Amino acid sequence: ATITEITKQTIERINELDPKVDAFLAMNEEKAMAAASEMDTAPMEQRGPLFGLPIGVKDNIMTEGLVTTASSRILEGFNPIYNATVVEKLRAAGMVIVGKLNMDEFAMGSSNENSYYKKTRNPWNLDYVPGGSSGGSTAAVAAGEVPFTLGSDTGGSIRQPAAFCGVVGMKPTYGRVSRFGLIAFASSLDQIGPVTRNVKDNALLLQAIAGHDEKDSTSADVEVPDFAAALTGDINGLRIGVPKEYFAEGVSESAKAAVYDALEVLKEKGATVEEISLPHSKYALATYYLLASSEASSNLSRFDGIRYGYRTNKASSLLDFYMNTRAEGFGDEVKRRIMLGTYALSSGYYDAYYKKAQKVRTLIKKDFDDAFKNYDVIISPTTPTPAFKIGEIIDDPLTMYANDILTIPVNLAGVPAISVPCGFEGDMPLGLQIIGNYFDEETVYRVADVFE
Ligand code: GLN
């Protein structure tokens, strides 16, 4: 098939399925078709492994000339004048961007219910959430609407919805992928990563988007290896640590059993498995919600109604204008984070909350540093439970936050981790989380590939 035909079929399939799944916020039909027909003229020797293939992009990633809202009212109709670095890299790889994907507003949430625009549904059961915040990205792949998407992960937002939707989602090492053009939530934690149906595709897509970028001062100047070449099938002698804290209360029996089964498979292939301790795990959730909210309160101060998107029409003074724009433009969860973060950073409370949380973050990172002296990967369930029903816990933020209890420590440390499908609870999929050492995505992929 030509690239034009593939693109057209992909758009038709999205038009057919998306009224049920509601994963896409905006389609890029005209430009995608134009790009496809141009690519059809490229000589074969210029075509890499992803050339001409369709991809969807999470809506917090800037796409020039294609509306980018981060699922917020405050960015309604916002049309970026430049591309994120990852988008430039997708184009360089010859991928065709077919549309933008729904998410929790500003990536705050675990269910996609915090989008201003719509609620994405889980393709495995349309009454269930797809997870979040990259739920649009994982649902679109799970439904077979598109084989590749990009998500972003600040505390689990790629891995948790990947687990809930039964797809493969990778959060790379902090610094591996440029954040230039990613609408910031918590800059010291945010990473863009690939969502795919299988591990090989995932490795290829990370390969395409990774690498140093002068436009992101936190992007790491380290070599990008050939991730797909790491899929040798050989894990003989691999040392696996299994943190006991990740199997504690709240983690369902099926989620534990699925991981134990997976560990047996790895042992048969020559890996050794030992229980380990990451003793500061219990502080991760509190540390994350202080630090992520603090950074968010600062990052989101730029949305003032002057430069971007939505502005109020009810104002009698400048202060009124700012306050009403933000009151009308931000949703409840975003306001909750701004208030929490502003409080944690305010004078008199800074030492007790923000600074203390930074110190605990260092201890959590040290847990991982110590573990990776003796182990090649760390394995756990991705989430304590499978997907829940739409509406079931949206009014209970603390229960919602607990969804990320097993993914958040990874962001605080900055190490890479993947979620791959691993069994079911009832009819809903579960995920296996494989955590690697800094910049060792290769080993993570090699282990993940065992489950293909
Ligand atoms: N669910 C977490 C939160 O709401 C993580 C979000 C994310 O990784 N972007 O903050």
* Residue ranges for the chain with pLDDT beneath 70: none
User: Which pLDDT score, from 0 to 100, does residue 385 have?
Assistant: 97
Per residue in 243-253, pLDDT (tens digit) is 999 999 899 99
Q: Which of 72, 110, 111, 133 is catalytic?
A: 133
User: Which pLDDT score, from 0 to 100, does residue 79 have?
Assistant: 96
Residue type, 31: K
pTM: 0.98
ipTM of the complex: 0.97
Per residue in 129-143, pLDDT (tens digit) is 999 999 999 999 999
Is 281 a residue of the active site? no
Is 157 a residue of the active site? yes
Q: Which of 71, 150, 153, 157 to mutate to test the pocket of ligand 1 (most atoms within 8 A of CB)?
A: 157
Rounded Cα gap, residues 19 and 30, in angstroms = 20
Per residue in 54-70, pLDDT (tens digit) is 999 999 999 999 999 99
Q: Which of 108, 150, 398, 403 to mutate to test the pocket of ligand 1 (most atoms within 8 A of CB)?
A: 108
User: Which pLDDT score, from 0 to 100, does residue 307 have?
Assistant: 87
Is 58 a residue of the active site? yes
Q: For the purposes of burial, counting CB atoms within 10 Å of the CB of 148, is it exposed (0-12), middle (13-18) or buried (19 or more)?
A: buried
User: Which pLDDT score, from 0 to 100, does residue 6 have?
Assistant: 98
